[in-house]
Amino acid sequence: QEQLVDSGGGTVQVGGSLRLSCTVSGRTFNWLTLGWFRQAPGKEREFVARILWKGGSQYYADSVKGRFAISRDTAENTMYLQMNDLKPEDTAVYYCAASPIRTMTTQFTAWGQGTQVTVSS
């Protein structure tokens, strides 16, 4: 069975950096798109970034463009989110997600358990 395990969260100060990881196990060939979403307390879950598993095309939310970078290692079945210049508004639980189709921000059907990112000022 397919499983996504995300990790790498923590607490950093404003302007700091973190790198999140998401390891995909199971029938990884099922997934054409991988992505990151986040949910802050009291807010709805929002899209952060996505990458096509084949080809590596990337797409970002405007709020993180230029600060975050999504990448993947197909040999290791792992996706990453490098987060730089972190701001307090980046504080949230971050979830990795996978979709069986090529998509932008919707139709993700598998989810990781979430990893907490806290940016302190």
Which DSSP string do the residues of 60-103 spell out, in sequence order? E-TTTTTTEEEEEETTTTEEEEEE-S--GGG-EEEEEEEESS--
Hunting for tokens 């879950």 — which residue is that? 45
Structure tokens at 20: 């999140």
**Residue 58: which of 91, 66, 2 has the closest Cα?**
66
Cβ atoms of 99 and 31 within 8 Å: the answer is yes
- What pLDDT is attached to residue 13? 98
Q: What is the DSSP letter of 26?
A: S
Percent with pLDDT over 90 in the chain: 90
- What pLDDT is attached to residue 43? 97
pLDDT of 26 > 90? The answer is: no
